[in-house]
Amino acid sequence: MKVTCGVLLMACVLLMSGCREGGEPKTAAKPNTASAPPEDWSLTAVAPAPVIAVDTSAIAAAKTEWPAVVAQLTEFRRTGTSLTARVVLRNEGVEWQKPTFIFRDVHLLDPTTGMRYDVLKEPNDKYVAAANRLFQDRFSSDLDPGQSVTAWMTFAAPPPAVKIVALKIPNIEPFEHLSIQDQ
């Protein structure tokens, strides 16, 4: 009973302290929201994407699914019946990353005919590519912050009449509309 009376007394005191002489409750001054946007304190707020520098010597660049790792195509050259692509992966972030992709999923695509050109294999079933020492079917490398690594792959070249293709590598946005450099 004493607790209920105490709570009621506190509620009355708070109610009365919020009233003016006219009997109306005081209203808080509204903040000026026109000058600054409200801060987003939600857990779903997305941080702005970091600005990633791209080499001016690169043929093309693409985002990757590895945080703050950028992929830059530095060579895309056809020599006879093969085509070599070199992709530099650079870690622009502050955390260690491990870019990895399996060569059977890497290919060139002729957008006109839909023809797919895969990474070449040697007679012993090894890919003609920068493969991991332990797992010969994939590219995988530890990448410390600020470090770069080159992944190269050799494909069966499209016919000489084909001048534009796309390069598809898992976990990297596609390199579209690439002009083949003939040697």
pLDDT given for residue 176 in this prediction: 95
Does residue 151 sit within a domain?
Answer: yes
Q: Tokens in use for 37?
A: 């946007």
**pLDDT at residue 150, as a whole number:** 95
**What's the confidence (pLDDT) of residue 134?**
80
88 in any annotated domain: yes
Predicted confidence band of residue 11 (pLDDT cuts 50, 70, 90): low
What CATH number does the domain containing 138 carry?
2.60.40
Tell me the percentage of the chain whose pLDDT exceeds 90. 63
Contacts for 67 with CB less than 8 Å, ≥ 6 apart: 93, 95, 97
Per-residue pLDDT at 14: 56
Residue 150, judged by CB atoms within 10 A of its CB (0-12, 13-18, 19+), counts as middle
Tens of pLDDT, residues 46-97: 555 555 566 777 899 999 999 999 999 999 999 999 999 999 999 999 999 9
Total structural domains within the chain: 1
Most confident of 24-33, 36-45, 118-127, 133-142: 118-127
105 falls within a domain: yes
> pLDDT tens across 93-112, in order?
999 999 999 999 999 999 99
Place of tokens 């079917």: 137
The pLDDT value recorded for residue 16 is 60
Q: Is residue 152 domain-resident? A: yes
Q: Which domain holds residue 152?
A: 60-182
10 is a domain residue: no
Take residue 174 and report the two structure tokens written for it: 């596609």
5 lies in a domain?
no
Say if residue 1's pLDDT is above 60.
no
Asked whether residue 4 is domain-assigned, the answer is no
Query: Considering the domain boundaries, does residue 30 fall inside one?
Result: no
